[in-house]
Amino acid sequence: MDYRIALVYSSTQGQTKKIAERIGGRLEEAGCSVEWINAGELQHQLDLSVYDGVIVGSAIYAGRITRPIYRFVRHQLDGLRRLPTALFSVGMLAALESDQEETTTDHIVSDFLDEMKWEPTMVESFAGAIPFTEYGFFRRWLMKWMVRRRTGEKIDASRDYEYTDWEQVDSFADRYLSRVREMAGSGKEAR
């Protein structure tokens, strides 16, 4: 069966968008029809009832899920609750070892979900990227500082880093599609 999936994302520097494209591409290869929606450009409420599933993807900035994703989830909660849904977050802390538990991505995501009162069918976090060469002075300085604080090591800021594990991304897309099939097959609502 040809499922219709909405992929709603929020990305400033492009890595979350790239991950959304990879997930959607994988779903298309498996026969789904996919619509990518940039949450930051959404002007109106979406009719989610036309979809068989929704995947929401957000970059993490300053310890938070982005504002456009807050807005989207808050406004579309009823529709989201009726469908198989997934939330993926993208941040660089997921990639850097640390024992500073309170700053972990899991906390950021679970705080967001608690606040929204949303329980997606699947939740995943991916390591993002640090495109140093695209940063201005302040961001470069800040990210160097963040990496140092987190790992205790100095990072070479003259080049870009991509930490995303693309196999994890593919596996996430495959597992999500299995859940959509399962839930469509059993005719049950998401949660």
Residues interacting with ligand FMN, by CB under 6 A? 11-16, 59-63, 90-94, 105, 128-130, 139, 142-143
Q: Output the 3-class SS for the chain.
A: CCCEEEEEEECCCCHHHHHHHHHHHHHHHCCCEEEEEEHHHCCCCCCHHHCCEEEEEEEEECCEECHHHHHHHHHHHHHHHCCCEEEEEEECHHHCCCCCHHHCHHHHHHHHHHHHCCCCCEEEEEECEECHHHCCHHHHHHHHHHHHHHHCCCCCCCCCEECCCHHHHHHHHHHHHHHHHHHHHHCCCCC
CB of 87 to ligand FMN, least distance (A): 14
Nearer to ligand FMN, 134 or 189 (CB): 134
Structure token pair of residue 15: 């890595």
CB of 169 to ligand FMN, least distance (A): 13
Nearer to ligand FMN, 78 or 97 (CB): 97
Nearer to ligand FMN, 96 or 184 (CB): 96
Nearer to ligand FMN, 61 or 166 (CB): 61
CB of 98 to ligand FMN, least distance (A): 10
Nearer to ligand FMN, 50 or 142 (CB): 142
CB 105 within 8 A of CB 94: yes
CB of 24 to ligand FMN, least distance (A): 15
CB of 13 to ligand FMN, least distance (A): 3
